[in-house]
Amino acid sequence: MAERREQRARRHDMAAGHPGVRARQREQTRARLLAESRRLFAARGYAAVGLAEIVESAEVTKGALYHHFGGKAELFRAVLEEVQREVGERVAAAAEQQSDPWEQLAAGCQAFLTATTEPDLQRIMLIDGPAVLGWNEWRAMDEAASARHLTEALAVLVEAEVIPAQPVAPLARLLSGAMNEAALWLASSTDPEDLAHTRAALDRMLRALRQG
């Protein structure tokens, strides 16, 4: 119908380059779906956002969505991957600015706390992530994106005997969980001093690791 011609026309207008109009259009559609669903999921949560609203915001149809993603959950997974990659990069960047392994750990943890305190990331990364994909899968993605840095940093410090010899996996999980929950708490906190207090408490927890 007229509706269809309208959609087709719009798509045709926007990409006039010769080499790979198809590929370019494809990437753009995918990017718009990712961006809009990320925005909506972050704002109102996975369950409260319908596919209809997503495709409307992205100005495509459900057909496009299901052409690019396996379904609602897979779309969410793609969004989560993107978010976690960003956070992981921020953590890694902060750590790399330090040369001393111990300072790398401290800086990385503080950077993680800063990043995950942003409400838009929280709902996707910390709330809906485990519920939608299941904890095991969420954990695997988290490990691949950012918790890996934590585990590695701890392993280096144990190797260098800065931290007493002990399995690093449980330690990494304890610390990761502590930071996750603290970030969620901070986001709903009213007292602006809570951030400083939490940073201080986290720092004390980390420094305590050096003494057996």
Partner DNA sequence: CGTATTCGCATACCAGTGGTATGTCAACGA
Partner DNA sequence: TCGTTGACATACCACTGGTATGCGAATACG
Site for its own copies in 68-127 (CB under 8 A): 122, 127
User: Residues 37, 40, 68, 142: which binds DNA (CB under 7 A)?
Assistant: 68
* CB 47 to DNA: min, Å: 8
| Site track for its own copies across 139-178, x = CB under 8 A | x--------------------------xx-xxx-xxxxxx
Q: Which is nearer to DNA, 131 or 174 (CB)?
A: 131
Written in H, E and C, the secondary structure of 132-192 is: HHCHHHHHHHHHHHHHHHHHHHHHHHHHCCCCCCCCHHHHHHHHHHHHHHHHHHHHCCCCC
* CB 61 to DNA: min, Å: 3
Tokens of 73: 């959950």
Name the segment binding DNA (CB under 7 A); options: 35-43, 45-53, 95-103, 164-172.
Answer: 45-53
Q: Does position 18 bind DNA by CB under 7 A? A: yes
For the chain, what's the residue count? Answer: 212
> What single-letter DSSP state applies at residue 69?
S
Tokens of 202: 């986290």
From DNA, its own copies, none, which one binds at residue 149 (CB under 5 to 8 Å depending on kind)?
Answer: none
CA–CA separation, 154 vs 37, rounded Å? 35
For residue 27, the SS3 value is helix
CA–CA separation, 14 vs 51, rounded Å? 24
Interface residues with its own copies (CB under 8 A) are: 45-47, 122, 127-128, 130-132, 134-136, 139, 166-167, 169-171, 173-182, 184-185, 188, 194, 197-198, 200-202, 204-205, 208-209, 211-212
